[in-house]
Structure 1
């Protein structure tokens, strides 16, 4: 049983049982974005949490150690995403990525925003012109440290 096969089982079971991602996250007391990402194969799921989720979703208990393994993260099936929602993030970073990078350097110095020491949140914000999607990326600043060989 591969991680990809288990991910497909998770998706099918969640839909068949009518669970929302939020309900699954609440059941294991974890953030909804982390839980969703983990169940889609992007994070290892500790066995005690994996067991709860596997039981809720009716997965074979043999899936739990596979869910706990460190996954290969990232990667999309195409160079430019074709899913409209994912493409819009790609588009936004294509347009604003350079400006964000410049502002990080101006405000913090030479470094990067961590995607390891990181959290993300998605909120719905009512707006008279139509509901807004608010995505907050919260990563630790990591300064580049250039050491000279002595």
Structure 2
């Protein structure tokens, strides 16, 4: 997956300022995962959010237009090669059908929205090694009959 040029510049500015996504969350009053999605051009910011972000990163206003534009979403048609991203692909390969069945048993025939959706990442301390806790919450959308 190639990283867009704007993403590379935004990440370099973030690193140069010594900011974390959690720091940006406090400044923008938006979730750190959503802010990362904006930087990676998987989400679009409002003009106000884009201004706050570029000011925090010490960049000029020329970035606002691209950060507020509608993004083209997704990783593309290839299997991801980054090991961390690939694990999510692998998780869906192994647990996709089981998750689908469990969700449909509880809710009926439908899907979990990726539009009306939140995603949180938490660190769970564990004596055997810290754990990554991913919390996905999406509105259930039943399939319509007509």
Tell me which interval the TM-score lies in, with the shorter structure as reference length: over 0.9
Long gaps (5+) in structure 1: none
Cα distance in 1, alignment partners of residues 4 and 93 from structure 2: 29
Note the C-alpha offset of 1:26.
Answer: 1.0
> What value does the CA root-mean-square deviation take over the aligned residues?
1.4
Long gaps (5+) in structure 2: none
Cα distance in 1, alignment partners of residues 9 and 58 from structure 2: 9
Tell me the TM-score normalized by structure 1.
0.91
Counterpart residue number, 1:90:
89
Cα distance in 1, alignment partners of residues 92 and 128 from structure 2: 24
Counterpart residue number, 1:143:
142
Structure 1 residue 125 corresponds to structure 2 residue 124: yes
Q: SS where residue 64 of structure 2 aligns?
A: helix
Counterpart residue number, 1:110:
109
Larger radius of gyration: 1
Counterpart residue number, 1:70:
70
Counterpart residue number, 2:79:
80
**Equivalence map 1:50-61=2 (5 Å):** 50-61=50-61
How many residues are matched? Answer: 144
Q: CA-to-partner distance for each residue in 1:10-41, whole Å, 9 max, x for gaps? A: 01111111111110111011111111111111
**Equivalence map 1:37-48=2 (5 Å):** 37-48=37-48
Note the C-alpha offset of 1:57.
Answer: 1.1
Tell me the TM-score normalized by structure 2.
0.94
Cα distance in 2, alignment partners of residues 4 and 61 from structure 1: 18
